[in-house]
Amino acid sequence: MFSSHRFTNLVDAAWVIEAFAEGGEYPLLHFSLTGSVDSCMGRLSATKTRSKPRLTLVVLSDTHALHRDLDVPDADILVHAGDFTLFSLFSRSNRSIADFDKWLGELPHRHKIVVPGNHEYVLEKAASPKTTLHSACVLINEGVEIDGLRFWGSPLTPLGGGAFGVASATDRRNLDHQIPDGTDVLITHSPPFGILDSAPGSDFHAGCQELLEAVKRVRPKLHMFDHIHAGYGTFTDDFTTYVNASLMGPYGALDKRPMLFQFKGA
């Protein structure tokens, strides 16, 4: 079941998606998003008609309080997949959360989605995490529909000590089982096991096995995540395009660019 957040639907959920970046730095990816919108999604009346609708999506994560160093391309939807603070237990990071919220509000994107990461202790401990950020839709094991696209967001990681960390494989599997069939875009902080979850040349994989099982069940067309800084990039199998959008480099600076996707009405 998706949450009560609702945005005006302009078209049915039948799309082709393209991944690109300004200057042509990223390859163009094509795949079809098909299927009608479920009745539980609560379709609203369209405010305008487009014969060939397009939605652009910009994806970023692991900015660690350096968000103002970024040049973020314009898009219809901005998604931040977590770790926008250093360690939000500290007062200076609480100030950075307020600045991050202000920065989000200054950006021109029509819709903004944020999924917390393992550094966002304040959101984990808040009685109402959604009130911590006023400029974005915060997803914590829940979904939202935007213009016919169905998003699901989860901050879960297999860490025992980080924010939103769940050490028990059984508990992780139960939470990931909540991801509904029909999800088009899955946003998680953790990568799935074995996919963009390790440094180049390393045999150690930090992803979540239970999340991988859920992804194979749901088969979202797009799965974006982060957490493992060295895993930045994309990978595509028969059903899903995976995106590790972590921008943090090895020396404490943002050394990568946000990724852009375009959903094109089929």
pLDDT tens for 68-104 read 999 999 999 999 998 998 765 554 557 888 899 999 9
Question: pTM value?
Answer: 0.79
Mind listing the pLDDT tens digit for each residue in 152-209? 999 998 876 778 888 889 998 999 999 999 999 999 989 998 888 776 777 777 789 9
Selection from 143, 140, 179 nearest residue 163 by Cα: 140
The pLDDT, as a whole number, for residue 144 is: 96
Query: What are the structure tokens assigned to 23, written together?
Result: 């200057």
Selection from 60, 57, 100, 115 nearest residue 247 by Cα: 60
Of 53 and 26, the structure prediction assigns the larger pLDDT to 53
Structural domains in the chain plus CATH codes: 15-265 (3.60.21.10)
Q: How confident is the model at residue 44 (pLDDT cuts 50, 70, 90)?
A: very low
